[in-house]
Structures are given as C-alpha cells and as structure tokens.
C-alpha cells in the first residue's frame, strides 16, 4: 500500500467489510481529492486540459502504481485498493478517475500479468514514478468488434514495423508508454493479434488530434498514428499471436475499474443533490421536506449502495483469484446505469440551476454517459452475462 497515503484519520468507516488499512487509504485519497483536485475540476473541464501538476501529485502519493511490487518502486497494494482510489477520485472528478483507472487496472495489470522480468524491470519503475500509460485497442472500424482491427505489424529483422491508426485512446496525450495491439498475420484472423509495448518516442509513432467530447473533457482521448513505426522485437508483450487473450482478460479487470468510476460519480452527484435539497426552499421550506424529493434521494441512495456492493464484490473476487468475468460485466453494466440515472435525477433536483455550469451536477450528468460506452458497451456486457448465465 502507498505509504504516502497511510496516515491517521478520524473519519468513521461506513462499510464494515473494509480493513483498517483500507479505510485509512480510502479516506486519505478522499481528503486529497477534496483539497487538491476539486478546486481544479471546473477549469480542467472548460479548458479540456488535465493539470500536469496534479498528475505529478498522483505519482507522489503512489496512486499510479498501487499494485506494482515494491521491488519495482510501487506500493505493493491490492486491486481492491486501486478500485477504492478510482472511486474516491471519481467522486470529485471522473476525468481524473479514469486516468488513474487506466494506469492501474489496464496498463499496470498487463505488465504484471504478461510482462517478462526484463520488461517489468524496465517499465514498471517508470509506471510507478513518473510515466502515464495508455491502452490502445480500438480503431474507427474496430470498437465492439475489437478483433476486426486493421493495424498491422510486420517483423523485419529485430524490429516490428507497425502501420495503422487507433482511435478513442484514453490518456493518449499524457502517456509515455502504450500497450498497443496490432495483427502480425491477418490470414490467421484474431490469432494474429499481438500486444506491443510502444514508447511515445518510437520512430514513426505520433499522437493525433484530441477529441472534443461531451463529458470527461479533461481526460485526453486521442487518435494514434503509426507510419512505419519501429518497435524492438523484445517489446512484444506476452506471446506473438496471443494479443487477443491479453485484450480480453485485461478488459475484464478494467471493467471493474469503470464500475468504480461510475460508482464514485453517482456518489458525488447524490451528495451534491442531497446537500442542495436542504438548502433550496420552495413554498417556505427546504425541498428535502417534500416526500417526492425524499423518495428520489432514497431510491438514488439505494441504487448507489447496490452498485457499491457489486463493485466491491467483483474487486474482492479478482484479488482472491476467483473467476470474476460475469461479475465484472454485471458491475460495469449496472454501475453505468446507476450513474446515468442518479446524475440525471440530481440535475432535476437542482431545477434550473442543474442546467447551468455554475453548479456541479450538469458535469456529473455529462460525464456519466461514457460509462455505457467504453471498455465494452452495455450491449456487449449483456451479451457476456447472457452467455455465462445461460450456459449453466
């Protein structure tokens, strides 16, 4: 666990299934998010730029290498702790939450599971200390049909030459290391897909335009361009032709992270709405005194609690090395639904003020929509769930 975050705290633990260390970790991430992140949220959203100093603080606090072993400079924490961090940061700003999420649940996890010892020694200390990572799978014609990718890699001597384009890559602008997927043998179909470790300075590699998005606007989402980009043969992650396995299994873990992001978002929206309902008066009394508002807030709180239990359960199962594929799909599906529903109701509770940028809930509402889209759409989660529950 990152030592920088283990400090005494007096905040009570609302959940009995967290250990004392987990409570301390969670509460210190929350304190950091409130004190350092919240003052920057609106400006980052409006400018669509992530504050570089904030990223440096993420590294200093150990939030970018939570599961990385101490021998590589990481915090030697658990997947569950990474999920707690994503939840608490997303409660204040989902744009910041997804940056931490991709780093920990996708990129770091891929290195830990499939990297050679040499690759771990070379890259994990950087991932823990100062280098943002990105996960490059999607293409313009290869979203839900991830294995229809057109990016090609050809072995020439001791190097692979990669050509193609990737689209909608989170963290692309800030990243220095990319886990990038390309097909080395199109005739073999998905069995030609291979994962490569690509550094930003690689010849022929460049980051294209940053998308102008509806939500999570501070989080960079960019195109990647490979024009005869040269990558050393030793930068193959896992086995040649086994990239499809890496992609599927890593995304299974990542979906729990997106569930945590959506959970934190919903919690933040609910807290704002509950507070405002006690401040805004109509007909001579706070709107929280009206049963209609009370019932909405009660239903929102119930949905959030259900999502929390699903997220935590899936994360615990992953740490326990149990099969969590179904639970991860359910977690992402349900948490994204809850985030959209809760943030929408939060806007309504604010009334006219909920529709203007001066108040926080319109941003939560905008940010919530991506939860049903990236790292597997809701329809893809339903397909996975159906396949698993009907196979018994």
pLDDT tens-digit profile of 44-62? 999 999 999 999 999 999 9
Q: Which residues contact 160 (CB under 8 A, 6 or more apart)?
A: 153, 154, 182, 184, 196, 230, 231, 232, 233, 235, 236
DSSP assigned state of 132: E
Q: Which residues contact 126 (CB under 8 A, 6 or more apart)?
A: 176, 177
Structure tokens at 9: 């705290």
**CATH 1.20.140.10 region(s) of the chain?**
245-390
Q: Look at residue 209 in the predicted model and tell me its pLDDT.
A: 94
Catalytic annotation, residues:
375
Angstrom distance (rounded) from CA 374 to CA 358:
28
In degrees to the nearest 10, what's the CA dihedral of 312, 50, 109, 120?
-150
Structure tokens at 94: 């989902």
Q: Which residue has the tokens 């030609």?
A: 192
Q: Look at residue 123 in the predicted model and tell me its pLDDT.
A: 98
The CATH-assigned architecture of domain 245-390 is Up-down Bundle (1.20)
**What does the pLDDT look like over 55-112, one tens digit per residue?**
999 999 999 999 999 999 999 999 999 999 999 999 999 999 999 999 999 999 999 9
Q: Look at residue 392 in the predicted model and tell me its pLDDT.
A: 66
Closest CA to 250 of 238, 232, 262, 235: 238
Closest CA to 211 of 171, 182, 163: 171
**CATH 1.10.540.10 region(s) of the chain?**
3-132
Closest CA to 112 of 181, 161, 48, 65: 65
CATH superfamily ID and name for 3-132: Acyl-CoA dehydrogenase/oxidase, N-terminal domain (1.10.540.10)
Q: Which residues contact 170 (CB under 8 A, 6 or more apart)?
A: 98, 99, 102, 134, 135, 219, 220, 221, 374
Q: Look at residue 158 in the predicted model and tell me its pLDDT.
A: 96
Angstrom distance (rounded) from CA 198 to CA 169:
14
203 in helix, strand or coil?
coil
Q: Look at residue 101 in the predicted model and tell me its pLDDT.
A: 98
**CATH 2.40.110.10 region(s) of the chain?**
134-241
Q: pTM score, two decimals?
A: 0.94
Question: Kind of pairing, strands 152-156 and 159-170?
Answer: antiparallel
Q: Which residue has the tokens 């992270």?
A: 257
Per-residue pLDDT of the chain (392 residues; tens, 9 = 90+): 455 544 433 343 444 489 999 999 999 999 999 999 999 999 999 999 999 999 999 999 999 999 999 999 999 999 999 999 999 999 999 999 999 999 999 999 999 999 999 999 999 999 999 999 999 999 999 988 888 999 999 999 999 999 999 999 999 999 999 999 999 999 999 999 999 999 999 999 999 999 999 999 999 999 999 999 999 999 999 999 999 999 999 999 999 999 999 999 999 999 999 999 999 999 999 999 999 999 999 999 999 999 999 999 999 999 999 999 999 999 999 999 999 999 999 999 999 999 999 999 999 999 999 999 999 999 999 999 999 999 86
Angstrom distance (rounded) from CA 96 to CA 367:
11
In degrees to the nearest 10, what's the CA dihedral of 338, 313, 245, 159?
90
Q: Look at residue 391 in the predicted model and tell me its pLDDT.
A: 85
Alpha helices by DSSP H, the chain:
20-32, 41-47, 52-60, 79-92, 94-101, 109-114, 117-129, 243-279, 291-319, 325-350, 361-368, 378-390
Q: Look at residue 147 in the predicted model and tell me its pLDDT.
A: 83
Domain 134-241 has CATH 2.40.110.10: yes
Report angle CA 102, 35, 271 to the nearest 5 degrees: 80
Q: Which residues contact 239 (CB under 8 A, 6 or more apart)?
A: 194
321 conformational bin, left if phi > 0, alpha if psi -120 to 50, beta if neither: left
Angstrom distance (rounded) from CA 285 to CA 383:
48
Q: Look at residue 381 in the predicted model and tell me its pLDDT.
A: 97
DSSP assigned state of 142: B
Closest CA to 264 of 105, 88, 103: 88
Report angle CA 263, 265, 266 to the nearest 5 degrees: 65
């Amino acid at each position: 666990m990152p030592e920088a975050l283990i400090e005494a705290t007096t905040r009570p633990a609302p959940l009995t299934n967290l250990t004392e260390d987990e409570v301390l970790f969670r509460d210190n991430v929350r304190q950091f998010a409130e004190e350092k992140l919240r003052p920057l949220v609106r400006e980052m959203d409006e400018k669509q730029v992530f504050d570089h100093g904030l990223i440096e603080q993420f590294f200093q606090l150990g939030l970018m290498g939570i599961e990385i072993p101490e021998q590589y400079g990481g915090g030697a924490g658990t997947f569950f702790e990474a999920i707690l961090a994503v939840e608490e940061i997303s409660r204040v700003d989902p744009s910041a939450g997804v940056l931490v999420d991709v780093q920990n649940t996708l990129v770091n996890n891929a290195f830990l599971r499939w990297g050679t010892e040499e690759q771990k020694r070379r890259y994990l200390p950087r991932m823990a200390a100062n280098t943002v990572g990105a996960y490059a799978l999607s293409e313009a014609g290869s979203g839900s049909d991830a294995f229809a990718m057109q990016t090609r890699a050809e072995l020439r001597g001791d190097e692979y030459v990669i050509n193609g384009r990737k689209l909608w890559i989170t963290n692309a602008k800030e990243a220095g290391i990319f886990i990038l997927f390309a097909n080395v043998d199109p005739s073999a179909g998905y069995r030609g897909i291979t994962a490569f470790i690509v550094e930003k300075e690689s010849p022929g590699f460049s980051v294209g335009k940053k998308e102008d998005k509806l939500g999570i606007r501070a989080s960079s989402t960019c195109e990647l361009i490979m024009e005869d980009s040269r990558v050393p043969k030793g930068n193959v992650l896992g086995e040649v032709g086994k990239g499809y396995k890496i992609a599927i299994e890593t995304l299974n873990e990542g979906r729990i992270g997106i569930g945590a992001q959506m959970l934190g978002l919903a919690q933040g929206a609910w807290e704002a709405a509950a507070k405002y309902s006690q401040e805004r008066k109509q007909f001579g009394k706070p709107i929280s005194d009206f049963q209609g508002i009370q019932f909405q807030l009660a239903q929102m709180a119930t949905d959030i609690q259900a999502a929390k239990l699903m997220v935590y359960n899936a994360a615990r199962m992953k740490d326990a090395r149990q099969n969590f594929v179904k639970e991860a799909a359910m977690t992402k599906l349900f948490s994204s639904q809850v985030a959209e529903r809760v943030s929408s109701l939060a806007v309504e509770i604010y009334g006219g003020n909920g529709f203007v940028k001066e108040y926080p809930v319109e941003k939560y509402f905008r940010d919530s929509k991506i939860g049903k889209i990236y790292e597997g759409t809701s329809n893809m989660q339903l397909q996975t769930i159906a396949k698993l529950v009907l196979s018994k």
